[in-house]
Structure 1
């Protein structure tokens, strides 16, 4: 948590409607009933589900603690492109002894958001369902599962090997950097229903070292000038790539989430553009990349202290080149990725677009995944034209942040220089300053502090927007508000809204809560009824609508909580499907031990689904790792092979549409 602003939590307003006893744990029903006794979005009230109107045609799977993928009866799950799968160059086979350079020719680690692009390259949603480019994010890495040198050491998920003098072997750092980023690989369906990697010139890796262009208002700003880019127009690499976005012009957006701790600033006075985001200020950075023994420029840049006479002689501004949304053209292997600064700098979980309308602005949304952070919307200044649309639409517009009012209404507050007090008198020098310090600007205008806003999804029929709020155990009773109604919110919930007049560019909206996750005695569906054995879940994270408006929900119970204490009743992380009209929810899938289910997309015909299993075995303790007692061996189930993140291909045995 980095938000220490004094923004109100609406507790003064809520106290007139909710007695504190109503929002204490165990009295959830009273709180929800009181909050939503007033206006609610027209057309979004729950309708009873019946056998002939449900969107969900599969039998729910039970909660599981097994080290495997479990799917409903009549479905098959197969593994595709696990970490280390070769895709380019000399196609080196996966081995714990792979070098850093070899990792740059292989699928990265810890798969996350992804999209299947039909091979024709004309539309992100129409075209071939048997041949295409699969583009996959890689959020982070576990050094203990990455290096042969780590075997036998007492290392946790973020622990890394070090030399006796405190430095790190350069090739280990290179391997970790190349394990980050994005994988682009061509895949095709085989006659037996399986899929395989196709050798193609478009197969490539985008990593923490790939040259990138900075665009938008921050381009050329003094805040991003470095030794590498004295004019502030370029940077190297993308890291902590969580969820994603898909543009209407058929490109891929990868989002930089928890990037801040990759950097270390030991200066006595840490600037707000570091402090407000949680840049490390003592010891080492998350992985100690700045400790590479070669002391090469591409590694020491993760030490962000001021060491030169000016910013163009060191890397004090390097953290400001991260926290952005990066656009990649998967069909052009020679293209340079672009960081679009008008979408704001924060812990981006993903980007989700409203359906484009010819002659109207582009509209997209993004969540800042941290406790007490915000939800944002971007509206382009120029209208969408299918014939000419490009990433330029993301470089000129207005970034807004959401305020959720206690009466079920909301407002979008512009983060625009000269408006809403964002002026030099209040510490904001220009639009670039506002965007580099997006969180600080959102604090200033009075946005609503949310319970870790993560993935968003938009109902393709009506434009209603859904966002997961994963959890917030730090929220106190006096800090609850209508949009975040539970103190010590261990379980999480899903919020949704409809823009005023069904106009995506509107500056006001109406909202409600779609589901409050949790056990049977502390949860509520849209119908007002609690969740049950077929659908109890917690910590909603991934979210996606398919073409038939089924809402897919993925969970991320943290490694320290999985199958422990109160969380034991939920088993391993899972994926569910929901009917947004009736509120019906069914559990579709459970994953192996220690992992997070994330990333979901289907082929255009909806008969093949891809999901990702991230960090299996992450719940292995330091002591267990040192003793070789790894609690997951998924997907190989070989005691000689460490667990590996991978994509999973799901098909229906009768060849039908997934979910029906």
Structure 2
């Protein structure tokens, strides 16, 4: 499928669905040994596809819980679960739902003022100046930095991934399918102002209710419209980062498509740049209407990263997003950005040591000897799982800790058929990463991280999204889906062809040390409906019809070490009949592989976040692009959603307001820890 096919596909009703279709286009030519091949080599394709694993193979992949089959005599005798709540009923409708006994209150919505002198939101008269003082669009990652010992006051750090013009602006409709005919410079500036991130102070009152502190001194908006940033690490100052406005190659304006992220142990915020390629433009098209990059000196590198995607019209008005005028500018995006939320005057830093790819997240932990470790997925079909290990150790010197993100080793994962994971270092001069293969220095290795990983023989994965480490040397890798994987391309770690539902891999690093260069891996869950044999799903049999899910995306580990999974099915929720939601997943003992539904989104919304406060009594989640994805499958609506005619008007339910992405705060009625007796 080409860009033109997607733009003209009548089944695609909005930009979010178009993005999803673009994700179906792999850019990795290295498909000789995918994760599906590994699984098949380890366990045998026929048995895997039929779900007929032998005892030894089944326990190796899924643990002993996979062998538990419920019988009549065992009715009601479920394995003990550490999650105590009455499971929510799955479904899809215009509003959000949470498990009984909990409150889920909207805390922040797109357009809400977050700066003391910000104007009130006027959806019919939007301006970039106003948006730069208001909460941005499509909230994804959510992190919380406490400001007091009690944890009743803190800073919410929120990514704003992208915008949906068709439900954001009145009278406009979807723009990427009509040549951006309605996108004026003013509207483009509003879009840019709505991207990036927000730092917002919030506080809990004596009754336990959270609210925004609008005059918080640290409140801040970060955007690709005007926020200046620096680059550091081995690629900083590289000739491939030099542009007309920055001949030194050390600075850039803004950050884009910030999906998931993380917080460092010293309280800085990591913003991951994901689908940066979609923002770049060219005026040169071939006879089929596809971008023509044949004359570009880095045509091969651009093709590997999907540049230019031309999802937005920014490059029609800003030279920095037009590769004809600034061919090096795409190399300044696709990094992890560090922001100090405690200092609103600080300059964000893009850390090139962490590699350049479509970063889904950047979740941190500390190794047994104090080194900083960051797990990161490259969210594209057939791309790779990475981790970064610092050279130095985390200390009490907050300023010095930032250097840990500049000096370290980036690794890429190879999943072996025998259940071993090997982390391969991406270091110039080692193995094939030499000048003979196009890598003149470490800067080249990091700018072209994907190409370097190709040469090392990393395992192509089923869209690695969030990766969540736990303190005991365990990490959970979320593979959301890959419907482009063919039967001959399956392997041990990506076992299903045409996987619409994804799976979760559990890694156990050697010695319980996250800095280890090898460990073991197994599959925790194969997602999808277990009642349909062809799906090949694997769950603990105690999982109810409400509890199974598809397309795991973001994750959190709470203070008690329990795993929570947020889903992103896109328009494919019509295949499950369920909206996206938040699920509690058991990882230990006889209950391993059991899942329970705790929260679900309104129609067309994606579940993002989640983030728990340290005391376990507050859970923040984000609902992104409500009223957009798959609205043609909503019974009684069954059409494309627009500003004037949306599938839902969540969360305001005001006839004069379109759906608004929002952060929701969940607490237990009467107080106490979430899902704990």
Aligned partner of 2:16 in structure 1 is none
1:133 corresponds to which of 149, 155, 175: 155
**1:481 and 2:487 are equivalent in the alignment:** no
Q: Which moved more, 1:537-546 or 1:623-632?
A: 623-632
**1:511 and 2:501 are equivalent in the alignment:** no
Change in CA separation of 1:390 and 1:557 when aligned onto 2, cut-off 3 Å? same
Alignment of structure 1 residues 248-327 onto 2, 5 Å: 248-265=265-282, 266=284, 267-270=293-296, 271=298, 272-280=300-308, 285-292=310-317, 299-305=318-324, 307=325, 315-327=326-338
Aligned partner of 2:190 in structure 1 is 175
In structure 1, how many angstroms separate the alpha carbons of the residues matched to 2:247 and 2:479? 39
In structure 2, how many angstroms separate the alpha carbons of the residues matched to 1:411 and 1:43? 26
Aligned partner of 1:567 in structure 2 is 576
Alignment of structure 1 residues 70-85 onto 2, 5 Å: 70-85=97-112
Q: Which moved more, 1:382-391 or 1:62-71?
A: 382-391
Change in CA separation of 1:130 and 1:74 when aligned onto 2, cut-off 3 Å? same
1:114 aligned counterpart, secondary structure: strand
Aligned partner of 2:169 in structure 1 is 147
Change in CA separation of 1:33 and 1:481 when aligned onto 2, cut-off 3 Å? farther
> Does the Cα contact within 8 Å between 2:37 and 2:495 map onto a contact in 1?
no
Q: State the Cα deviation string for residues 611-633 of structure 1 (Å, max 9, x = none).
A: 00000011357974469331011
> Does the Cα contact within 8 Å between 1:519 and 1:531 map onto a contact in 2?
no
In structure 1, how many angstroms separate the alpha carbons of the residues matched to 2:132 and 2:263? 24
> C-alpha root-mean-square deviation of aligned residues, in Å?
2.6
Q: Which moved more, 1:509-518 or 1:385-394?
A: 385-394
In structure 2, how many angstroms separate the alpha carbons of the residues matched to 1:638 and 1:32? 56
2:193 aligned counterpart, secondary structure: helix
Change in CA separation of 1:258 and 1:12 when aligned onto 2, cut-off 3 Å? closer
> Does the Cα contact within 8 Å between 2:43 and 2:492 map onto a contact in 1?
no
> Does the Cα contact within 8 Å between 1:524 and 1:530 map onto a contact in 2?
no
The alignment's TM-score, normalised by the length of structure 1, stands at 0.89
1:580 corresponds to which of 565, 578, 587: 587
Q: Which moved more, 1:336-345 or 1:377-386?
A: 377-386
> Does the Cα contact within 8 Å between 1:549 and 1:580 map onto a contact in 2?
no
In structure 1, how many angstroms separate the alpha carbons of the residues matched to 2:184 and 2:97? 40
Q: Which moved more, 1:260-269 or 1:650-659?
A: 260-269
> Does the Cα contact within 8 Å between 1:576 and 1:587 map onto a contact in 2?
yes
Change in CA separation of 1:8 and 1:77 when aligned onto 2, cut-off 3 Å? same
> Does the Cα contact within 8 Å between 1:472 and 1:490 map onto a contact in 2?
yes
> Does the Cα contact within 8 Å between 1:157 and 1:618 map onto a contact in 2?
no
Change in CA separation of 1:519 and 1:156 when aligned onto 2, cut-off 3 Å? farther
In structure 1, how many angstroms separate the alpha carbons of the residues matched to 2:38 and 2:79? 43
Aligned partner of 2:289 in structure 1 is none
Aligned partner of 1:58 in structure 2 is 85
Aligned partner of 1:296 in structure 2 is none
> Does the Cα contact within 8 Å between 1:350 and 1:455 map onto a contact in 2?
yes
- In the TM superposition, residue 221 of structure 1 has moved relative to its aligned partner by 0.1
Aligned partner of 2:145 in structure 1 is 117
| Count of residue pairs brought into register by the alignment | 619
2:305 aligned counterpart, secondary structure: coil
- In the TM superposition, residue 130 of structure 1 has moved relative to its aligned partner by 1.7
Relative to its length, the structure with more helix (as a share) is 2
Q: Which moved more, 1:5-14 or 1:91-100?
A: 5-14
Change in CA separation of 1:42 and 1:18 when aligned onto 2, cut-off 3 Å? closer
- In the TM superposition, residue 195 of structure 1 has moved relative to its aligned partner by 2.0
In structure 2, how many angstroms separate the alpha carbons of the residues matched to 1:472 and 1:499? 26
**1:197 and 2:219 are equivalent in the alignment:** no
Alignment of structure 1 residues 344-423 onto 2, 5 Å: 344-355=355-366, 357=368, 360-387=370-397, 389-423=400-434
In structure 1, how many angstroms separate the alpha carbons of the residues matched to 2:542 and 2:586? 16
In structure 2, how many angstroms separate the alpha carbons of the residues matched to 1:65 and 1:618? 13
Gaps of 5+ in 1: 121-126, 293-298, 308-314
Change in CA separation of 1:176 and 1:12 when aligned onto 2, cut-off 3 Å? closer
Q: State the Cα deviation string for residues 472-512 of structure 1 (Å, max 9, x = none).
A: 00111111110001111111010011111222222111000
The alignment's TM-score, normalised by the length of structure 2, stands at 0.86
Q: State the Cα deviation string for residues 590-611 of structure 1 (Å, max 9, x = none).
A: 1101000110112222111110
**1:244 and 2:255 are equivalent in the alignment:** no
Aligned partner of 1:311 in structure 2 is none
- In the TM superposition, residue 183 of structure 1 has moved relative to its aligned partner by 0.4
Aligned partner of 1:471 in structure 2 is 481
- In the TM superposition, residue 43 of structure 1 has moved relative to its aligned partner by 13
In structure 1, how many angstroms separate the alpha carbons of the residues matched to 2:250 and 2:364? 26
Change in CA separation of 1:487 and 1:533 when aligned onto 2, cut-off 3 Å? same
